Amino acid sequence: MSRHPAIRPGHSAVVTGAASGIGLAAAKAFAGAGMNVWLADLPGKALDAARAEVSGLAAVDVRAVPTDVSDRHAIEALAAAVMRSGPPALVMLNAGIEAGGKLFSDAETWERIIGTNLWGVVNGIRAFAPAMAESGQPGAVIVTGSKQGITTPPGNAPYNVSKAGVKAVTEALAHELRTREGCRTSAHLLIPGFVYTGLAKARGVAEKPAGAWTSEETIAFMLERMEAGDFYILCPDNETTRAQDEKRMEWAMGDIIANRPALSRWHPDYAEAFKRHQEG
């Protein structure tokens, strides 16, 4: 099977948010490809269990490092430990939370969501990407975004803001890396569809809905699109096609171009127009 050149036996991969869901599935895939894997997540039984699970897959070195990604010093300490053996070939900045935030949630909720979702990515990029770029070796930085960071549906403003920021900073990283002479590190924005993860379980969804992909399906699609060279890895799922996503995103940008009301997709005066747009 052909893979992105960063995914090489004997080289290192770092995954944040690695104790469950998409992060754990990614760590398992990288270990299965022969990579040594660093698992970063909050301390606890989930991280310990993830290390045991990934370690049992292949004869590779698997290390679990308790890390709060919102803490710049914690990310720098993780990077320092990893880079004692040189820059990693791959870093996946995946840690994220929802935390049920609303527009007028308290400041602590906003700070917790922005801290993990956005600062966790900024901290990770600053800690790892320069050395990876300067190494001249094949590398990849993967950042987990969200469709909500593009279409920004009402009801979860802190999460939407954090993921919109993630999209912007990962785009900036991609431009920076491709304009550096001799740099062979690429950037990729993973945009999952409906995925059954620990976040869904925490909301009381006991079984995987028929419309959802598994974390493993999401990572398989990600690896396929990385090998093809995609920056925007826009994932479908079992209920939403890429064409449907494209039309929703096109409509969101159309609000600016057509000077429609903000979030007109959910405005009653535009319900029929949006329906026709999706069906067209």
- Out of 159, 196, 232, 270, the active site residue is 159
Structure tokens at 210: 């028929």
Contacting residues for 89 by C-beta, under 8 A, at least 6 apart: 6, 7, 8, 11, 12, 13, 35, 132, 137, 138, 139, 140
User: Would strands 139-144 and 90-93 be described as parallel, antiparallel, or unpaired?
Assistant: parallel
| Helix orientation angle between 271-279 and 242-257, rounded to the nearest 10 degrees | 140
Enclosing H/E stretch for 77? helix 72-82
State how far the Cα of 26 lies from the Cα of 38, in Å rounded to an integer. Answer: 11
Residues contacting 19, CB < 8 A, separation 6+: 39, 41, 42, 44, 46, 47, 49, 50
Q: Is 196 a catalytic residue?
A: no
In angstroms, the Cα distances linking 46 to 19, 39, 53, 206, 233 are 5, 11, 10, 18, 27
Q: What span, in angstroms and rounded, lies between the C-alpha atoms of 147 and 163?
A: 8
Question: CA-CA distance, 147 to 233, in Å (whole number)?
Answer: 11
Q: Do 21 and 199 touch, CB atoms closer than 8 A? A: yes
Active centre residues (catalytic): 159
